[in-house]
Structure 1
Amino acid sequence: MTATEDLVRRLRGTVLPAVATPMDAAGVVDTAALRGYAERIAAEPIGGVAVWAHTGRGLYLSEEDRRRVLAVWRETVGRPVVAGVGVPRGAGVVDLAGAVDATVAMAVAAAEGGADAVMVYPLAQLDGDDDAAVELHERVAAVSGLPVVGFFLHGEAGGYPYPPRLVERLLALPSAVGVKLATLDRAMACQDAVRAAGGSGRLVITGEDRMFGPSLMWGADTALVGIAAARVPLTLAVLDSWRAGEHGRFVRASARLDRFAEATFLAPIEGYVQRMLWAAVWEGLIPEQAAHDPYGPDLPAAERRAVVACLEALAEEDARAAGTGVVDAREPGVHRDGDDAPALA
């Protein structure tokens, strides 16, 4: 069995949180907060984690910060670590050749840091050139020595839609672990990509936070999602109940996850990183001072109140179902009242 085949076997049917990166308002990574966060996430029955992904602002981090982030997760999680690789912001890359070189260099750094696979950010310059897209993935795998995940990313996050024929070609590569679908709200594009991936034997990975349940029904078999940066148990409940054929439990869990997604994945979509950090504070995963996204848009305080209100409502429902009174899993000292929650930049 090759390393790629073994990784496919280990990851199929699991959740890989696309983890956040705790940092202050100036973008300084809080290593202590990161380690505590990693320990909490690693305690869940996940299949692995994805670092340097969009949720973790991997393309915005300095090379040294990426190295430290990967090292903490590598030391802590004890399961496969997938690293997103692409063109770092501020790299000064203007042409396609430079973009490819930067992506490959980031993949090599991931391999040196102990990543088990890389997830290749799409290069918008390759839209319409399937041959060049395949060559990019082949070169990343050949130079880094790591298995690769293709990343079908929506345009709002800098990607472009992979046509079904490209999905088929990418999954035919010996180094291909699978393809991650993050089409945002494009149901037909997601369905077409899932169909194209069917029968490949590789992973069909949903990154569809707003279409999580439907993407599983369409054929996705694994999850790599930003929504699990804070809501790991609920994400697991949806995937596990679907795979177990417990359709009543699946419908209930999916409806609950959808409510949280509605409060966090909305316009401006780049604001979802900050909203997930707010949720992580509420969950007690990240301290307030390390829950900043300096690279996203400024969000009004009302948006934080909406996130908190959703989380409070879900917790109250859990408590009523358990018959034990109010459940609050957050760390002591965190505000319970969403109106009191301070706004973050």
Structure 2
Amino acid sequence: MVADLGARLRQGVAIPAHPLALDEGKRLDLAAQRALTRYYADAGVDGFAVGVHTTQFALHADPGMFREVLTLAVGTVPDWDAVRIAGVVGDIPAAVREAELAAELGYDAVLLSPWGMADLTEDTLLARAAAVGEVLPAIGFYLQENVGGLRLSRHYWRALLDLPSTVAVKSAPFDRYRTVDVARTLLEHDRWADVALLTGNDDAIVHDLTTPITGLVGGEWRTLHVRGGLLGQWAVGARAAAGLLDRLRRERDSGRVGTDTLAIAPDLVEVNAAVFDVLGGFRGCVAGVNEVLRQQGLISSAACLDDRERLSPGQAALIAEVRKRFPDLLDEEFVAEHRDRWRA
């Protein structure tokens, strides 16, 4: 486990949301699942998040497979000093059980996903965060409504930040107004320097990582930066993601972000539009991540546990197109060179 999780997160982290590798029969593909973890370790990212949206929320309905997937992620590259995050879902009893399993397996923190709650309100989310925080440090999650999230007020974010177990917030509403709500609330909170703000806005990665949030709070001038990302988009192009974060951090800290760096943003948005199925209203976003990895030969199938999660018509062709247009952003050469070793 990471010795000082808060400090590690505040240094800036690139964390991919780890996919679930299935065969065509929707059985866990052990070789492919391990290959993905080896890919991320060799890519130079800072850790992984398992049991999150990209790992398929339906995984949580199978406790045996859930345990196996979490175990594989921590055991495949045991000497990797990775930040290990487990997604937890459901109401308080279920989420606490999953957090206890994550703690047993050596995870550092849990990501509080809203999926599977019988009564999804700000009050129930806060009660669950407090209960789970008794087990492991927690990362708050602003999930976009298209994939099961809830619009959350500044009151909610203040209350979540009041919990000492909250070590970070992943802001992923895919909405600039709501992203500013989270950032401004953190900036004005007493724990503003202790809680890491991470982007989950796969459509605005460069924007989030380069734009400071500033303000005068109680006579003190404060500047807040997004410290990294926990992203489904970074489940593909992981090596490029680690390099991008390092480049953005260096340029941002120097006070000069180059126009050639900013020009990466629209390219990355185009890649994400194909992978996340923007034309299909994000219905194929999880399958789209899998399809990139399938086309690259890392996994054998883009299948998902939930039959409703599938590629939209024409999405595979769009993914093939962005792979040709933006090979560096998708690690095409790196994956081709190492995939056989990772799958061995």
Same-fold status (TM-score > 0.5)? yes
**Other-structure match for 2:185:** 196
**Other-structure match for 1:258:** 269
**2:267 paired with 1:268:** no
Question: 2:47·2:84 contact (CA, 8 Å) conserved in 1?
Answer: yes
Flag the 1:55–1:309 CA change in 2: closer, same or farther, 3 A: same
Q: What are the Cα deviations for residues 191-215 of structure 1, in whole angstroms up to 9, with x where unaligned?
A: 1111112224211011111121222
**Other-structure match for 1:28:** 27
**Other-structure match for 1:81:** 84
Return the alpha-carbon distance in structure 1 between the equivalents of residues 330 and 237 of structure 2. Answer: 14
Return the alpha-carbon distance in structure 2 between the equivalents of residues 133 and 301 of structure 1. Answer: 36
Out of 127, 133, 144, the position equivalent to 1:135 is 127
Question: 1:11·1:48 contact (CA, 8 Å) conserved in 2?
Answer: no
Question: 2:168·2:196 contact (CA, 8 Å) conserved in 1?
Answer: yes
**Other-structure match for 1:125:** 119
Q: What are the Cα deviations for residues 296-327 of structure 1, in whole angstroms up to 9, with x where unaligned?
A: 444345210111111111128999xxxxxxx7
Q: Please, which runs of 5 or more residues in structure 1 have no aligned partner?
A: 88-98, 320-326, 335-345
Residue aligned with 2:168, SS: strand
Considering Cα pairs closer than 8 Å and 6+ residues apart, tell me whether 1 or 2 has the greater RCO. Answer: 2
Give the 5 Å matches for 1:137-286. Answer: 137-142=129-134, 144=135, 146-184=136-174, 186-198=175-187, 199-216=192-209, 217=211, 219-245=225-251, 247-248=257-258, 249-265=260-276, 266=278, 267-284=280-297, 286=298
Flag the 1:215–1:125 CA change in 2: closer, same or farther, 3 A: farther
Flag the 1:126–1:298 CA change in 2: closer, same or farther, 3 A: closer
Cα distance, 1:224 vs structure 2: 0.2
**Other-structure match for 1:94:** none
**2:282 paired with 1:293:** no
Q: What are the Cα deviations for residues 26-63 of structure 1, in whole angstroms up to 9, with x where unaligned?
A: 32111111111211111122111000000001443411
Question: 1:23·1:30 contact (CA, 8 Å) conserved in 2?
Answer: yes
Residue-pair matches, total: 306
Deviates more, 1:175-184 or 1:14-23: 175-184
**Other-structure match for 1:8:** 6
Percent of residue pairs bearing the same amino acid type = 26
**Other-structure match for 1:67:** 67
**Other-structure match for 2:321:** 309
Return the alpha-carbon distance in structure 2 between the equivalents of residues 176 and 5 of structure 1. Answer: 16
Residue aligned with 1:25, SS: coil
RMSD of aligned residue pairs (Cα, Å) = 2.6
Q: Partner amino acid for 1:177?
A: V
Flag the 1:172–1:59 CA change in 2: closer, same or farther, 3 A: farther
Return the alpha-carbon distance in structure 2 between the equivalents of residues 230 and 297 of structure 1. Answer: 18
- When normalised by structure 1's length, the TM-score is 0.81
Return the alpha-carbon distance in structure 2 between the equivalents of residues 254 and 179 of structure 1. Answer: 22
Flag the 1:128–1:68 CA change in 2: closer, same or farther, 3 A: closer
Flag the 1:4–1:197 CA change in 2: closer, same or farther, 3 A: farther
Flag the 1:317–1:263 CA change in 2: closer, same or farther, 3 A: closer
Question: 2:50·2:86 contact (CA, 8 Å) conserved in 1?
Answer: yes
Q: Please, which runs of 5 or more residues in structure 2 have no aligned partner?
A: 213-224, 340-344
Cα distance, 1:253 vs structure 2: 2.8
Residue aligned with 1:209, SS: coil
Return the alpha-carbon distance in structure 2 between the equivalents of residues 82 and 213 of structure 1. Answer: 23
Residue aligned with 2:43, SS: coil
Flag the 1:316–1:168 CA change in 2: closer, same or farther, 3 A: closer
Q: Partner amino acid for 1:305?
A: A
- When normalised by structure 2's length, the TM-score is 0.81
Return the alpha-carbon distance in structure 2 between the equivalents of residues 317 and 66 of structure 1. Answer: 30
Return the alpha-carbon distance in structure 2 between the equivalents of residues 4 and 170 of structure 1. Answer: 23
Return the alpha-carbon distance in structure 1 between the equivalents of residues 333 and 137 of structure 2. Answer: 40
